């Protein structure tokens, strides 16, 4: 089974899981990269997984449904192209013989979900949309800092070797900010260097590995004194004893960075 990041727009990835004869895609904001990959592989699209309602994640759904008759799955609490099977925390969906657990991860949007498969070939697999990025997290368009913290905390409990399939190539810009938060983090410096080399070769920085994200991503490190102190350096009113307050300050700092 192949895991393929299909580039779309300026910096999106449409993730494709491709088996011997069939495939699944996640968040197809544009149908054409998916149709081209299907033509190249000869695979049939069996399912479309949607994490949230933003246009750069659902814009290609209807075209793909008409062209392939794929089944669409998506968040129960958001409006996405219909018909779609609604999913929420505790649900599961089986595609290509793999069972994905559905996780509610609001924050970026109010009803955002993620898909996690513990026993995928090659290691655990997480499709997290715009909730968790390598080195960062999504903007809070509809949710609250408390919701985003709870969502990130939930994702952070997944196995160390989980492959984190984010929906955007934001890694280098995120790591530049992360270094402003933790300039003495040696692991972060090395990861930034590694990612720069990947991008120079035209290769994606994703999927990321969850164990590494815990070491470098400031939004997963809000309970560390160094990160809390950095947040207070941006906003003197931050309650350093409150991870929610720290995350809110970090997100606002990143918005302005």
Annotated catalytic residues are 52, 54, 56-57, 108, 130, 168
CA atoms within 13 A on the CB side of 175: 23
Whole-number Å distance between alpha carbons of 80 and 61: 9
Q: How far is residue 218's CA from residue 226's CA, in Å, rounded to a whole number?
A: 10
User: What percent helix, strand, coil does the chain show, rounded to 5?
Assistant: 35, 25, 40
The Cα 139–Cα 177 span in angstroms is: 14
DSSP state of 28: -
Number of H helices, E strands in the chain: 9, 14
Q: Rg of the Cα trace of the chain?
A: 18
What are the two backbone dihedrals, phi and then psi, of residue 197, each rounded to the nearest 5 degrees? -65, -40
**C-alpha to C-alpha distance for 28 and 114, rounded to whole angstroms:** 15
Is the preceding peptide bond at 15 cis, omega within 30 degrees of 0?
no
Distance CA 65, CA 148 (A): 31
Place of tokens 């939930």: 154
């Amino acid at each position: 089974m192949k895991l393929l990041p299909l580039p779309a727009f300026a910096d999106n990835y449409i993730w494709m899981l491709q088996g011997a004869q069939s495939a699944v895609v996640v968040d197809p904001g544009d149908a054409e990269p998916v149709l081209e990959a299907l033509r190249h592989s000869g695979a049939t699209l069996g399912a479309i997984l949607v994490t949230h309602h933003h246009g750069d994640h659902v814009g290609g759904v209807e075209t793909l449904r008409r062209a392939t008759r794929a089944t669409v799955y998506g968040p129960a609490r958001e409006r996405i192209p219909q018909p779609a099977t609604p999913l929420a925390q505790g649900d599961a969906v089986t595609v290509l013989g793999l069972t994905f657990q559905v996780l509610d991860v609001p924050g970026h949007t109010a009803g955002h979900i993620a898909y996690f498969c513990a026993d995928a070939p090659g290691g655990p697999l997480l499709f997290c949309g715009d909730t968790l990025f390598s080195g960062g997290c999504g903007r809070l368009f509809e949710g609250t800092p408390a919701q985003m913290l709870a969502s990130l905390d939930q994702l952070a409990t997944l196995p160390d070797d989980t492959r984190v399939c984010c929906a955007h190539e934001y890694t280098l810009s995120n790591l530049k900010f992360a270094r402003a938060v933790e300039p003495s983090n040696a692991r972060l410096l090395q990861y930034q260097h590694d990612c720069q080399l990947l991008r120079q070769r035209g290769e994606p920085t994703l999927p990321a590995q969850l164990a590494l994200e815990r070491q470098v991503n400031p939004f997963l490190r809000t309970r560390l004194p160094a990160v809390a102190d950095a947040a207070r350096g941006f906003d003197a009113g931050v309650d350093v004893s409150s991870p929610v307050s720290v995350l809110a300050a970090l997100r606002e700092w990143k918005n302005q960075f």
